[in-house]
Structure 1
Amino acid sequence: MCRWLAYSGSPILLKEVLYEGPNSLVGQSLHSRMGAEPTNGDGFGVGWYGAPDTPGMFHSTEPAWNDDNLRELAGHISSPLFFTHIRAAIGSAVQQTNCHPFRHNRWLFMHNGYINEFATIKRDLTLAIDPSLYPLISGQADTEVLFYLALTFGLENDPPAAVEQAIGLVEAVAARHGVPHPFQGTIATSDGESIWAFRYSSEHKSRSLFYTTDVPTLRKLYPGRELFREFSDDARLIVSEPLGDVAGVWNEVPESTYGIVGPDHAEMRPFQPKAPTTQVPVRA
């Protein structure tokens, strides 16, 4: 599987979460504690929001722990909202077009998990993608297909409903083909203002996902820790696995749940996929 991290809050340098801490994301690329594989060396990606209308992206097929370009960028890019992802490939080639996060206009999308027997149901899934979006697919990864299905079902207007329908379609198509336990994973998507994070699997044994306790509470718990004074009140991290082991910092996202993190709110709600009523909605 893969490991990923999403940050929202006041601008910070990417290196603060990529390289710093006892279990940093780059550290997890070599020694993941909670992943299906301890090593995630099949490429990585960073997507960040700044002054332009669309987020910047950097992808590489180098192992994250061995890429000097990533270290250089991470020490100079500061952003109020960014995604980072380290990849352990399943089924698709190790190439830049298969690295997460994926981007469409202002939207970023990344995933840890898989669509089971993707080759068996890929044709039906890709034919359900809106014809205007289909030519934009540039890689082979199941996550990219899932992203464009979510866009087809209205991700830009209602992210939870769109992801519900995208995964619901995966499960419906898989049922027709006799594919068991079709979906596994955690997902993050963002429009640059809010982050939506999902934890779900068809067999209800999802990959791990955690979020940080709000910063004002952490300052009260640990008044002497300089780190918690450096982050803004609204700063949040959502991660595949914790970056450290300080008590009270990390909270597990429950099974079949999605969370919303925005500039002035954070909440969690139940998540249950449902197949769309029409497979190819007409886009305006």
Structure 2
Amino acid sequence: MRTMKLGSSTLEVPIIAVGCMRIKSLDKVKAEHFVQTALEEGVNFFEHADIYGGGTCEEIFSDAIHMNENIREKIILQSKCGIGKGMFDFSKEHILESVDGSLKRLKTDYLDILLLHRPDALVEPDEVAEAFNILESSGKVRHFGVSNQNPMQIQLLKKSVKQPFVANQLQLSITNANMISQGINVNMENDHAVNRDGSILDYCRLNDITVQPWSPFQYGFFEGVFLGSDKFPELNQKIDEIAEKYEVSNTTIAIAWLLRHPAHMQPIIGTMNTDRLKDCCKASDIYLTREEWYAIYRAAGNVLP
């Protein structure tokens, strides 16, 4: 598995991360097998959130990996906070309480990375800064980032927050590629030219913030998986054609498409199927040509001006 630096940090991470949102669906034996498979594949980056399974996903993971000091040194843990009951909450108290809860459930003394989950309309940057300073000085969190935030929201936080943001987790897939399309269709009169995120992809590249695509196989907002879907016949035909050339699965090509982008993204893989996880990891060895990347892009219904 190839590795990369996460954002502007010196933290070396695999180019693929394992999302643990669905680990609750596995029994104890299957959860242990899945986690061990990930480690064998070189994917030692495990991504969480305090709300996944109401917190139980973090507990299940720590049990499955048999967390101890020796294991902890070999893995990278990222978690997210900021979603409360019926609201978003970036208050100092909520951030600190959420981290303490995650640490307890994960059976560890620190998180490698903490992300703010979804933008809070009532955010007070000074409160976030206070929380981050406490977490950093206490050793509970080593790196910080955001999720689902646009450039101005990040800039607002940076007004007070001194720590660099190393990652921004954003929805991105072949069929949900507006952050790419708007940069291709600048000033054009079509839907692909609509700037829905303030050019967040370019912003992250300019500021050394790693984009972590979530739901890399989904179309719409959790409407379904585009691979094998009869809603995307042309796309699946093109992906299958390229997959046959490289002698890999369509899953591998879908991830390779994201990895081919020069932003050096780190996709969050949410599958709990070990075979599919292995297929995702094979993308580390695939480098699509420019022609192949654009062919897939266009087959998904994206247009070139």
TM-score bracket relative to the smaller structure: 0.3 to 0.5
| Rg larger for | 2
Structure showing the higher strand proportion among its residues: 1
TM-score (norm 2): 0.33
TM-score (norm 1): 0.34
Decide which structure has greater helix share: 2
